[in-house]
Structure 1
Amino acid sequence: MSRDHILRSILSEKVNMTPDGFDADQLTPEQFRDCHELFFDKILEIHASDISGVEGYGKLDEQCKTAYTTFREYAIDTFEEDQEGYWYNWTELFDTTLLEREFFDHYYKEMEARISYCEGQRYLVNDYTFFNKMITDGKTTVGFPDWTFASISDFLMDFAIMDLHKPYMKIPELLVQYLDRRGIPVPDFKERFLCMGYMKGLHVLRWHASIDDEESCISIMKSMSELKDRIYNL
């Protein structure tokens, strides 16, 4: 059975993988605020999927299996230098690109210090919930056509990704209010959101540095630098 077929069998029936609509990146902040609960509803339906048949953490391979037993192993190993493929000897980027070692090391330590809060938090996550990767009609539908990076992780990962490139959309601020209205408890929300935000932020920063995308690097560094104050002020 193909990865897509396995994913379909795992996913909640309410999750739309073939949506009609427009690129959610087209929404203004005002438009998003008007329909943000729809987005949050649909993303949480991903996280409601039954993963009882999947063990561990990390990206799902072609058989929808993971490579790591613990979240700590997953979080740390994704930044190891000795990896196969694109990220082999990636630390050379510190000498050849815009990637700043001091900045990276600081937020790596911030992430590492919060890993324990995410241990045991196992959910199916799309892990690609950037606004330009979601399709919506702005009223009744939000869909997720791209499952390239589907993983098992803390469900707050998908919300941290939404926030990374568009902090002005106020994702965590709106999410806290949404969860409170729904009566959904999320223990250690602040530390978990920061861990997810720093982890994904470093991944994305490293990618944009590798393709010499200066504008995105500057934007991501600014977003990461401001995240702690935003979260602790919730």
Structure 2
Amino acid sequence: MSKDHRIKSMLPEKVNMTPDGFAADQLSPEAFTACCELFFDSILEIGTADISGVEGYGEFNEECETAYATCRAFLVETFSEDREGYWYNWKEMFETTELSREFFEHYFKEMEDRISYCEGRRFLVNNNTFFMNMITDGQTRVGFPDWSRAGISDFLLDLAIMDLHKPYMKVPELFAAYCKKKNIVIPDFKERFLCMAYYKGIDVLRWHASIDDTESCYYIKRSISELKDRINAI
């Protein structure tokens, strides 16, 4: 069974892998606020997927297997220097790119300090929920055509990814209001969201630094730096 077919077999029928519509990247903040519940409903629905046959954490390989036994191993070892391939000896970038050692190490520690809140939170995640990768009609449906980076993690990762490039969409603030309205309780929401956001934030920052995308690095660093105050204000 192919990776996509295996993922489809896990997903509830309500989750659309072949959607019609337009890229959610085209939504204005006002339009997103009006239809944000569609996105939150869909991400929570992904989180109900049956993963009973899958162990561990991390992105799936082609056999839909993960590489890490614990959430801590997944998050921390993502930034190991001795991984074969693109990120081998990646910390040399501290001397050659926009990536600041001080900034990275600060937010790596912020992430690491919160991993215990996410340990044991195992859900199927799309792990690529940037607005440009989601399709919607803006009124009744949201779909997720790209599952190339899917895996197992805390489901709040998918919400943190939504927020990273578009903090002005106010994803965590709107999600908190949504949960209050629906009487949904997310244990340790703030710490878990920050853990997932810092993980994905410094990982994406590392990528943009590696391709000398200085403008994106600036905005990602600002997004990461401002997040804790936003979350604490909820």
Global fold match (TM > 0.5):
yes
- The one-letter code sitting in structure 2 at the alignment partner of 1:77 is E
1:132 matches 2:127 = no
Unaligned runs of 5+ in 2: none
Structure 1 match to 2:186:
186
- The one-letter code sitting in structure 1 at the alignment partner of 2:163 is D
Structure 1 match to 2:197:
197
Structure 2 match to 1:111:
111
- The one-letter code sitting in structure 1 at the alignment partner of 2:43 is I
1:59 matches 2:59 = yes
**CA deviation string 1:32-71 (max 9, x = no partner):** 0000001111111111111111111000111111111110
- The one-letter code sitting in structure 2 at the alignment partner of 1:186 is I
Structure 2 match to 1:210:
210
Q: Separation in 1 of the partners of 2:94 and 2:147?
A: 30
Structure 1 match to 2:2:
2
Structure 1 match to 2:160:
160
Unaligned runs of 5+ in 1: none
- The one-letter code sitting in structure 2 at the alignment partner of 1:10 is M
1:223 matches 2:200 = no
- The one-letter code sitting in structure 2 at the alignment partner of 1:164 is L
SS at match of 1:65: coil
Q: Cα offset for 1:227?
A: 0.5
How many residues of Structure 1 are paired with residues of Structure 2 in the alignment? 234
SS at match of 1:87: coil
**When the two structures are superposed, what TM-score results if normalisation uses the length of structure 1?**
0.99
**When the two structures are superposed, what TM-score results if normalisation uses the length of structure 2?**
0.99
Superposition pairs for residues 35-50 of structure 1, below 5 Å? 35-50=35-50
Structure 2 match to 1:177:
177
Structure 2 match to 1:92:
92
Q: Cα offset for 1:184?
A: 1.4
Q: Separation in 1 of the partners of 2:175 and 2:39?
A: 10
Q: Separation in 2 of the partners of 1:148 and 1:231?
A: 29
Q: Separation in 2 of the partners of 1:79 and 1:179?
A: 32
SS at match of 1:124: strand
Superposition pairs for residues 132-151 of structure 1, below 5 Å? 132-151=132-151
SS at match of 2:124: strand
- List structure 1 runs of 4+ shifted beyond 6 angstroms: none
Q: Separation in 2 of the partners of 1:229 and 1:43?
A: 24
**CA deviation string 1:118-175 (max 9, x = no partner):** 0000000000000000011001111001111101000100000000000010000000
Q: Separation in 1 of the partners of 2:150 and 2:182?
A: 26
Q: Separation in 1 of the partners of 2:76 and 2:200?
A: 12
Percent identity of paired positions between Structure 1 and Structure 2 = 68
SS at match of 1:147: coil
- The one-letter code sitting in structure 1 at the alignment partner of 2:134 is M
